[in-house]
Amino acid sequence: MQMCDQQTEKVWRIVADRLVRFNVNLYEMWFQKVTPLRVDGKTFVMGVPDDFFAGFVRDNYSDILDDQLRGIDGVDYLWSFESGHPAPLHPMIPVDMAMVSTPDADKPAVSIQNRLCSERRPHLRSSEFTFDNFIVGDENRHAFTAAKTASEAPGLYNPLFIYGSNGIGKTHLLQAVAHAVRERNPQAVIRITTCDDLLNEFYDLLWQKKSLSEFRASARDVDVLLIDDVHRLAKKVQMQEEFFNLFNTLTDQGKQIILTSDRQPCEMSDIDKRLTTRFESGMIAEIAMPEYEARLAILRLWRTEVVTDYPLGDEFLDFLAGHIRSSVRRLKGCFLRLATWASINGGDRLTLERAEELLRGQIDQEYAARDISLEAIQKEVAAYFDLTIADLLGKNRNDRIAKPRMVAMFLARELTKVSSTEIGKAFARNHATVLHAESKIPELCRKDEMLRHGVEHIRHQLQKN
């Protein structure tokens, strides 16, 4: 790595560690080729080989870089690229990467290309992620039934598009389909991947200036294609074109495609209309957070699977089911925290008061998010910017009013579970305007420190009330 001052090296080490935790493939493929140069005030300057490299990273991973450069010693760094710096001969090995490296130093490292090619085999998780272990309730019955049908009769629903917020079971259903198809037909070629991994494979071939025929062949030579978080295609214009052609090829051959997203196709911005209309051409199924009874059933299932000296009593499962409502992923984290504490300290020492103390942060977040209404957001934004609610709902497009209006719609998307269509109605706008605000406000906050502080202040006030 090129010599740089201690502060620059410190910032880059933190960023590199964060990037590896976020996605090790992404780090190896792109950011390992970056050279940290210097810190200019609050701007972190990085050297890259050429303008092609800089353009790709800027167009496709700028939001990731923004996130990883936030909150380093209390500073939210901006960043810039400087072309003409060859990739380091000895790139930094982040702590997290070293921890997951093979302990056998004599073993040759697996190349990125070999690892990507191996992804044609299904990456199945344990038998925990099957249809038998999926707790069905009214909030997910449609998605469950559609996924099960797709596994039994591939091509009937094509594509099957499952959408909902994070941590509520979308990935579980993808894994369940893969398990079921493999059990029914061991010869079936199944590919299950995240959209980010698919993008990394695509960009790696571009970076190596290789033919895309290898990517196309590996993607098309499947019977069932399962892609998680397809909304990550947003703004990836070249990949969208490839995916459009891939989609048409597989559906024409009757191959099954199942996609998941955090929003329905009509709410996906910065994605070619040709793609979103194809996403809508099959079966669309929403999946929501399980209701109390289903959450309790899930917790009871986990209690049978997690063997400890002191299994959690029913009163603790009832406590968790009643308080944790935002995601199954958070529910499991809280369950494991209590189960681990009881196992280490003794089950007789775990009381409901102690459980509430252990989970205070998560419970506070649950209630903060749950109680925020669109009206409260409108009121808080109007007060901060010295406007009236009528101003926010009116037709005036003056920047003094239009920007606060976008802030209000952005916070409504972030702090509530209300759809963009309903938020649009609440502001006398359409859902496209809401989606524009959702993508525009973070961009404006990066450029305008005063606006960023304003958004943070309003968010804090809403979550505190």
C-alpha separations of 148 from 66, 132, 172, 258 in Å: 39, 11, 12, 11
Please state whether beta strands 160-163 and 190-194 pair in parallel, antiparallel, or not at all (unpaired). Answer: unpaired
pLDDT per residue as tens digits for the range 387-397: 999 999 998 88
pLDDT per residue as tens digits for the range 405-433: 999 999 998 788 788 888 999 999 988 88
Whether a cis peptide bond, with omega within 30° of 0, leads into 290 is no
pLDDT at site 131: 93
292-369 carries CATH number 1.10.8: yes
Strand partners, 191: 225
The domains of the chain are located at 6-96, 141-286, 292-369, 371-464
Which amino acid is present at 175? Q
- The string of DSSP codes covering 154-190 is TTSSSSEEEE--TTSSHHHHHHHHHHHHHHH-TT--E
pLDDT at 111 over 50: no
First to last CA, the chain: 49
Select 6-96's CATH number: 3.30.300.180, 3.40.50.300, 3.40.50.880, 3.40.50.720.
3.30.300.180
Task: Give CA–CA dist 27/100, Å, rounded.
Answer: 14
pLDDT at site 156: 84
Mean pLDDT, the chain, as a whole number?
82
Binned at pLDDT 50, 70 and 90, residue 90 comes out as: low
pLDDT at site 165: 81
Which pTM value belongs to this model? Answer: 0.56
Select 371-464's CATH number: 2.60.120.10, 3.30.420.40, 3.60.15.10, 1.10.1750.10.
1.10.1750.10
The architecture of the domain spanning 141-286 is: 3-Layer(aba) Sandwich (3.40)
- Tokens 């938020």 found at: 423
Binned at pLDDT 50, 70 and 90, residue 211 comes out as: low
Strand ordering across the sheet containing 43-48: 35-40, 43-48, 78-83
pLDDT at site 79: 93
